[in-house]
Amino acid sequence: MSIPKQRIAVDMDGVLADVYTQFIRMHREETGEELQKESLLGLLEEDAFPYHDQHVNSDGFFRNAPVIQDAPEVLKALNEWHEVFIVSAAMEYPNSLREKHDWLSNHFPFITWKQIVLCGSKSIICADIMIDDHFKNLDNFKGRTLLFTQPHNQNAKANHHTRVGSWKEIEKLLLG
């Protein structure tokens, strides 16, 4: 069976990059306090992490974030069958632009510079599928939406979005 080629917009932070682990690690280094993901359920990142703004604006925050499990392998397979774009609303933190580019080059070398969209608002994005962890990016998207589960959205009803909890689930949904 042939899979029809589709354009897929993939968020970076919280979908490819494990920013929760990065926030928790930086919080521990700064305060000595060990935060548990379970205690962060339902909280926006800005509320869950007291030093949120300081951390996202610090050198290395985006460059050193760990990769979410199975993302490189599954994204590589998606990239072979579909038109994949990495879409990150990065303009809120302009210092992140270089770090995000370098991080993608390091962890996803098969993604070319032509497939990276660093923007202010994702409302401009036109694709068949969007994979994101924030409702604000998915709610007005015209195509199929996959809500990547993260602590901030875990307790929320997915509404018309398909909730996914891992890249293996995405692989099964989009590659069969």
Question: What pLDDT is stored for residue 94 in this prediction?
Answer: 85
Give yes or no: residues 29 and 70 share one domain. Answer: no
In a domain, 143, yes or no: yes
Give yes or no: residues 70 and 47 share one domain. Answer: no
Q: What confidence tier does 1 reach under pLDDT thresholds 50, 70, 90?
A: low
Residue type, position 58, single letter: S
CATH number of the domain to which 93 belongs: 3.40.50.1000
Give yes or no: residues 39 and 124 share one domain. Answer: no
Give yes or no: residues 48 and 134 share one domain. Answer: no
Give yes or no: residues 77 and 23 share one domain. Answer: no
72 pLDDT more than 90: yes
Residues 6+ apart with CB under 8 A from 93: 56, 57, 62
2 pLDDT more than 80: no
Question: What pLDDT is stored for residue 115 in this prediction?
Answer: 98
176 pLDDT more than 90: no
Considering the candidates 13, 18, 132, 133, report the single residue annotated as catalytic. 13
The answer to whether 11 is a known catalytic residue is yes
Count of domains forming the chain: 2
101 close to 116: Cβ distance less than 8 angstroms: yes
Tens digits of residue pLDDT in 35-49:
988 899 999 899 999
Q: Which two tokens stand for residue 66?
A: 């760990």
pTM confidence score? 0.94
Give yes or no: residues 79 and 154 share one domain. Answer: yes
Question: What pLDDT is stored for residue 95 in this prediction?
Answer: 84
Give yes or no: residues 134 and 104 share one domain. Answer: yes
- 24 membership: H or E segment, kind and range: helix 19-31
Give yes or no: residues 132 and 153 share one domain. Answer: yes
In a domain, 71, yes or no: yes
Give yes or no: residues 119 and 39 share one domain. Answer: no
Give yes or no: residues 126 and 151 share one domain. Answer: yes
The answer to whether 133 is a known catalytic residue is no
In a domain, 1, yes or no: no
In a domain, 2, yes or no: no
Give yes or no: residues 88 and 49 share one domain. Answer: no
Q: How far is CA 22 from the centre of its chain?
A: 13
Q: Which two tokens stand for residue 57?
A: 């604006």
Considering the candidates 11, 18, 132, 133, report the single residue annotated as catalytic. 11
In a domain, 61, yes or no: no
Average pLDDT value over all residues in the chain: 94
In a domain, 130, yes or no: yes
| Distance separating alpha carbons of residues 110 and 1, to the nearest angstrom | 25
Give yes or no: residues 148 and 71 share one domain. Answer: yes
66 close to 106: Cβ distance less than 8 angstroms: no
Domain span at 125: 7-18+66-175
What residues are paired with 84 via a beta bridge?
A: 8
Q: What is the full DSSP assignment across 51-118?
A: THHHHHTSTTTTTTPPBPTTHHHHHHHHHHHSEEEEEE--TTSTTHHHHHHHHHHHH-TTS-GGGEEE
24 close to 35: Cβ distance less than 8 angstroms: yes
